[in-house]
Amino acid sequence: MSGKLIIFSAPSGAGKSTLVHYLLGRGLNMEFSISATSRPPRGVEKDAKDYYFISAEKFRQMIDNKMFIEHEEVYKDCYYGTLHSEVERITASGKNIIFDIDVKGGLNIKRQFGDRALAIFIAPPSVEILHQRLNTRGTDTPEMIKRRVEKADFEMTFAAQFDLVIVNDDLEKSKNEAEQAIRHFLNSESV
Ligand code: 5GP
């Protein structure tokens, strides 16, 4: 059955993006929901592939024009949001949609779509390990890492509201667990 929604949320550094990329290559008839953001591109990120990169001003106009299913100011002055047009585009092509979005946005979509959505929370084994991973990844300044770790503590408090929590202490195990849960969900007649 197509037209279902798979939501991945996690504190940053928990390994969510790695899992999402893996799952996109598993023949599950899923397409990635490209979010809009007002933060600038990082490294090799490309417009209309990783995100739709737009200015904060344009973002606010689009909020006023009710173009988002959900949006959050994830970090100060950094807006992120899921566009109605993106979900319509993917659904029209007969595919399921996979989201990589923050915890509040993920729960917001789950509330709107109910049984049509599977909300998965990826938890790091501990906040200390998350801290180490962010340091090793080396893509953030120490100040940004501090912000992300503080935010992670808060985000962990939402885990219980998700349909499934995967503790990412072993990447291979997490990949299998996520894939099995998604296959089961896509094959079920819950909608
Ligand atoms: P990053 O800047 O590292 O790409 O993303 C920062 C956070 O914003 C991540 O937790 C990411 O999942 C989240 N995010 C990305 N797109 C969206 C979106 O459309 N809506 C919401 N609410 N969060 C998003």
Residue with tokens 């109910």: 114
CA of 174 relative to ligand 1 center, distance in Å: 21
- At 38 the pLDDT is 97
- At 2 the pLDDT is 63
CA of 191 relative to ligand 1 center, distance in Å: 27
Angle at alpha carbon of residue 51, lines to 165 and 140, rounded to 5°: 70
**Of 1-5, 13-17, 143-147, 169-173, minimum mean pLDDT range:** 1-5
Number of domains in the chain: 1
Burial, 191: exposed, middle or buried (Cβ in 10 Å; 0-12, 13-18, 19+)? exposed
Phi, psi of 5 (to 5 degrees): -120, 130
What is the average pLDDT value for the chain, to the nearest integer?
A: 93
For residue 82, which atom of ligand 1 is closest to its CA? Answer: 19
pLDDT tops 80 at residue 142: yes
- At 39 the pLDDT is 93
Tallying the residues shown for the chain, one arrives at 191
| DSSP 3-state of 7 | strand
- At 191 the pLDDT is 55
CATH number, domain containing residue 90: 3.40.50.300
Q: What is the spatial distance between Cα 24 and Cα 19, in angstroms, rounded to a whole number?
A: 9
pLDDT digits (tens, 9 = 90+) for 60-105: 999 999 999 999 997 777 999 999 999 999 999 999 999 999 999 9
pLDDT digits (tens, 9 = 90+) for 98-140: 999 999 999 999 999 999 999 999 999 888 888 998 899 888 8
Give the highest mean pLDDT range of 3-12, 125-134, 178-187.
Answer: 178-187
Contact 155, 183 (CB under 8 A): no
CA of 144 relative to ligand 1 center, distance in Å: 15
Q: Nearest CA to 108 among 92, 119, 122?
A: 119
Distance of CA 75 to CAs 12, 28, 109, 166, Å? 12, 32, 19, 25
% the chain with pLDDT above 90: 75
Chain centroid, CA 25 distance in Å: 17
Ligand 1 in reach of 99 Cβ (< 6 A): no
Cα within 13 Å of Cα(46), Cβ side: 2
Distance of CA 17 to CAs 22, 78, 160, 191, Å? 9, 19, 21, 27
Query: Which residues constitute the domain of residue 63?
Result: 5-187
- At 61 the pLDDT is 97
pTM of the predicted structure, to 2 decimals: 0.92
When pLDDT is cut at 50, 70 and 90, the band that residue 178 belongs to is very high
When pLDDT is cut at 50, 70 and 90, the band that residue 190 belongs to is low
For residue 72, which atom of ligand 1 is closest to its CA? Answer: 22
Residue whose CA lies nearest to ligand 1 atom number 8: 102
Residue whose CA lies nearest to ligand 1 atom number 14: 101
Ligand 1 in reach of 74 Cβ (< 6 A): yes
DSSP 8-state secondary structure symbol assigned to residue 44: T
Ligand 1 in reach of 100 Cβ (< 6 A): yes
